[in-house]
A and B are shown apart, each in its own frame.
Chain A
Amino acid sequence: GENVEQHPSTLSVQEGDSAVIKCTYSDSASNYFPWYKQELGKGPQLIIDIRSNVGEKKDQRIAVTLNKTAKHFSLHITETQPEDSAVYFCAAMGGGADGLTFGKGTHLIIQP
């Protein structure tokens, strides 16, 4: 089955700087890669996703890149703000009927 590795487990950046979270996956048939943000006391919320037919997708300060050859994808947050502090999960979905496989999460801390 699919295996997703996520790094780093904790990331602390100064407000206004950029943050990058990286994930690798094992199943070359995986073709859908969402990112979730989980704030304290809440369930994870989908913030951006990318499908395997594109290499990059942007939504305001958030972007995701995908390298299918290397089987890795990354989340980029620019001009970080205090409200970006949360736990972020990457996930990958295989080509069959399997569901999403999640990474272990990254705790992003925005320092004022």
Chain B
Amino acid sequence: NAGVTQTPKFRILKIGQSMTLQCTQDMNHNYMYWYRQDPGMGLKLIYYSVGAGITDKGEVPNGYNVSRSTTEDFPLRLELAAPSQTSVYFCASSPLGQGSTGELFFGEGSRLTVL
């Protein structure tokens, strides 16, 4: 099992550009999450999904979009990148509601810089 895989690991964007952060998991988890973490701060929930075709906003959804067409994939799209979106982005999955403890499994993170 690869677990949760995020790509790319690093990316530099210019203001106004768009990009997609990819996240895939091979654990057949229903729940998937996107968080951002600014330097020295805690994690903020951007979007989450409880299964294919279902997504919900988290604490800081503005400037982002997500889709969940399959159980495995949960891409995060940044439209019109702004310097305020410079952050480390973490994707996570969880077997919540599948008879488990609900542990979150995180990817290694994607470090994004917007200049």
Q: Do A and B bind each other?
A: no
- List residues of A whose CB falls within 8 A of some B CB: none
Which B residues lie at the A interface, using CB under 8 A?
none
